[in-house]
Amino acid sequence: MKILITTVFDYPHAGGLSTHVTTLKAGLEARGHEVDVLSISDVPGWQSKFIARGPSFVLNKVKKGKGILWSRKARQNMLKTLIEKNKHKQYDIINAQDVFATFASLESGIPTVSTVHGYMAFEAVSAGSVEENSEEAKFLQEMEKKAYSQTRKVITVDQRIKDYVKKQAGVEGTAIRNFIDIHDFKPAVEKKAELRKKHGFSEDDLIFFVPRRLTKKNGVIYPTLAFPKVLEKFPNAKLIYAGMGEAFEELKALVAEKGLENQVTLLGAIPHKQVKDFFALADVVLVPSIHSAGVEEATSISALEAMGSGIPLIACAVGGLKEIVDHEKDGLLVEERNVEELEDAMIYLLENPETGAALAQRARQKIEDEYSHLAAAEKYEQIYLSALEQK
């Protein structure tokens, strides 16, 4: 098949959706399909700036939420134009990765299926882009319902989102949990010393890694709140964040308030390929997600990548993380927002490295058995074929 993947967001970018697209593309191509990606990044920068971003900024000054609606609709129209320009490539099917990409794809007349990665309206509220229960939030919910109802097939990245789509639009989706490239993210213990030297860390450092977009629902403040207690027992501990988002300034201020500037590193957004280095050089990975404005973690790609990399994982017991991690078998789960539990878990894994190694080994086996990108690509292929049969 000739498959087109579309999104109104930048591609590539630091975040789960972009990682999902890259990994799905690799899996589908390994199965012999031709796959292209069209995103807002394919639009000239000046056009994106003056048509979407500029007016959005101004409109948000008038009323919070007006800007995001303008931006999404403008991005939809620009993506629609891109798809029209590429129709000569005769794609068999489009897999849209968000609501407004779905609308742009449907207008092309090419059979379209949609992957739902989250709860668009609630996530906009959680991120502070729109006010809860506002007309703008209600409009985004209506757009979700319309998109789910009009696309040929809906794929969701976990069971909760499948239930959400059913509740919102009465549409029965297919849940295919997120996945990783098991050949790309794999244990690399032999490179640990080399990578630490490359990135300026000591072999004696005890490193916690937080590979999360800096947004409220990802609970990124909690590792910093827990870290002073960890440092009391392990003064050579380090905390590294990789990601950017609206919570960056809050986190930076918290680090300064706690006097942790020498122990906490905020890398900002880094290329996804470089994230592999930090998995390999870390001692423990933290995925401290929380519930926020009705949003909860789906099947976290960051958690899957940590497990695939053979690094002990501590995650909060919310959303899809409870499905991924079997507590005390292939990782540790702690209560969300519970700083004391997180402190204890972090200290426990530093005090018991053999236990951590055993958790990590079983986690890697789980990834190979259940979360391979090749197995997921086969499932996507079957949905595409079913959609093409649909009148």
Tens digit of pLDDT for each residue in 202-223?
999 999 999 999 998 899 999 9
Q: Which residues pair with 292 in a beta bridge?
A: 295
- What average pLDDT score do residues 42-52 get? 85
Structure confidence at residue 292 (pLDDT): 79
Alpha carbon 153 to chain centroid, angstroms: 22
Contact 46, 135 (CB under 8 A): no
Contact 4, 93 (CB under 8 A): yes
pLDDT at 331 over 80: yes
Q: Please tell me the chain's helix, strand, coil percentages from 3-state DSSP, rounded to the nearest 5.
A: 55, 15, 35
pLDDT at 72 over 70: yes
Helices 339-351 and 353-370 meet at what angle, rounded to 10?
Answer: 100
Contact 52, 23 (CB under 8 A): no
Residue 372 phi/psi, 5-degree rounding, is -75, 140
Q: How far is CA 239 from CA 16, 144, 227, 271, 273, in A?
A: 21, 38, 8, 19, 20
Q: For strand 284-287 and strand 206-210, is the pairing parallel, antiparallel, or unpaired?
A: parallel
Structure confidence at residue 45 (pLDDT): 84
Tens digit of pLDDT for each residue in 89-121?
999 999 999 999 999 999 999 999 999 998 998
SS3 state of residue 227: helix
pLDDT at 293 over 80: no
Q: What CA dihedral angle connects 351, 337, 301 and 83, to 10 degrees? A: -160
- What average pLDDT score do residues 171-194 get? 93
Q: How far apart are CA 270 and CA 264, in angstroms?
A: 16
Structure confidence at residue 56 (pLDDT): 81
pLDDT at 391 over 70: no
DSSP string for residues in 185-209: S---GGGHHHHHHHTT--TT-EEEE
Q: How far apart are CA 217 and CA 293, in angstroms?
A: 8
Domains and CATH numbers, the chain: 2-179+372-389 (3.40.50.2000), 189-370 (3.40.50.2000)
Q: How far is CA 61 from CA 49, 52, 97, 341, in A?
A: 17, 15, 29, 41
Q: Encoding tokens for residue 247?
A: 């919570």
**Element (DSSP H or E) covering residue 334:** strand 332-334
Q: How far apart are CA 261 and CA 266, in angstroms?
A: 9
- What average pLDDT score do residues 152-172 get? 94
**Element (DSSP H or E) covering residue 167:** helix 159-169
Q: How confident is the model at residue 266 (pLDDT cuts 50, 70, 90)?
A: very high
Tell whether pTM > 0.85: no
Q: How far apart are CA 189 and CA 268, in angstroms?
A: 25
Structure confidence at residue 294 (pLDDT): 67
